[in-house]
Amino acid sequence: MRIDIITALPSLLHSPLNDSIVKRAQTKGHVSVEVHDLRDYSTSKSRTIDDYAYGGGAGMVMAVEPILRCIESLQQDRQYDELIYMTPDGETFNQTMANALSLKENIIILCGHYKGVDERIRQHIITKEISIGDYVLSGGELAAAVVADAVIRLVPGVLNDETSALTDSFQDDLLAPPVYTRPPEINGWEVPEILTSGNLKAIELWRMEQAMERTRIRRPDLWEKFNQNHDE
Ligand code: ADE
């Protein structure tokens, strides 16, 4: 899989994309992530990428030309399955979207800034608009890093133990059960006995019960969805 991220602030993406699982995924060749500085596609001397909003009002708007130039140059080398724009008024990101995106071959993620991009880019170029939640960030970079991270760890082969993505919270509309490690007791806080029993069937059942209880209490919305899916 290849992810091209277009941004006016490339440095914001360097750290999140160059550590841990996301870095390993790139080193192992499962994914390639390329960050493109939108200013490299400006034709002005001062590398401007924004302009005043028609009709007035505060805030600059990201102009069409540099974005088009960047996207068209990428499209010369390959076809893209999805052109994503990160924006607080997009569709709220979730695990189902992450799963679907992890199956794509090539995607572009455009990070918004200032007052956003010229609407014509959204209308004519963008195929999907994603928000990571109902709050406004200074730009789309951190949101793009969130999406890239959630997607990359799902690409087959990225995680050492393939089942560990399958047991993540949300994969089956349930939150993940609690986990423990050594020591078995500290400060009088004990690990649930069943986990050290060696009875794998009983442990699996306990984990399922815990996941269901956690979901029922913490996320009634997910719990309802889980029950609907399991009633049919
Ligand atoms: N850009 C600014 N805020 C954002 C958000 N919540 N999600 C995606 N992109 C954004």
Per-residue pLDDT tens digits for 27-40: 999 999 999 999 99
- Copy the structure tokens of residue 206: 């306990």
Q: Ligand 1: which residue has its CA nearest to atom 1?
A: 140
Q: Give the rounded distance of the alpha carbon of 92 from its chain centre.
A: 11
CA distances from residue 185 to 191, 195, 199, 204 in whole angstroms, order as listed: 6, 13, 20, 22
Specify the fold of 2-152.
Alpha/beta knot (3.40.1280)
* CA 133 / ligand 1 centre spacing (Å): 7
For domain 167-231, the CATH superfamily is tRNA(m1g37)methyltransferase, domain 2 (1.10.1270.20)
Give me the pLDDT at residue 163, please.
Answer: 65
CB 84 within 8 A of CB 143: no
How far apart (Å, rounded) are the C-alpha atoms in residues 81 and 104? 6
Write out the residue limits of the CATH 3.40.1280.10 domain(s) in the chain.
Answer: 2-152
Whether the predicted pLDDT of 231 surpasses 70: yes
Q: Which atom of ligand 1 is nearest to the CA of 130?
A: 8
Q: Ligand 1: which residue has its CA nearest to atom 2?
A: 137
Q: Which atom of ligand 1 is nearest to the CA of 112?
A: 1
Q: Which atom of ligand 1 is nearest to the CA of 87?
A: 9
Residue to probe by mutation, ligand 1, list 85, 86, 117, 135, most atoms within 8 Å of CB: 86
Element (H, E) at 85: strand 82-92
Q: Where are the alpha helices (DSSP H) in the chain?
A: 11-17, 20-27, 64-77, 95-102, 119-124, 141-152, 163-166, 200-218, 220-231
Asked which of 11-20, 82-91, 122-131 is least confident by mean pLDDT, the reply is 11-20
pLDDT digits (tens, 9 = 90+) for 38-72: 999 999 999 999 999 999 999 999 999 999 999 99
- Copy the structure tokens of residue 8: 């006016």
CA distances from residue 50 to 53, 83, 136, 192 in whole angstroms, order as listed: 9, 20, 19, 58
Within 8 A by CB and 6+ apart from 197, the residues are: 203
Give me the pLDDT at residue 162, please.
Answer: 60
Write out the residue limits of the CATH 1.10.1270.20 domain(s) in the chain.
Answer: 167-231
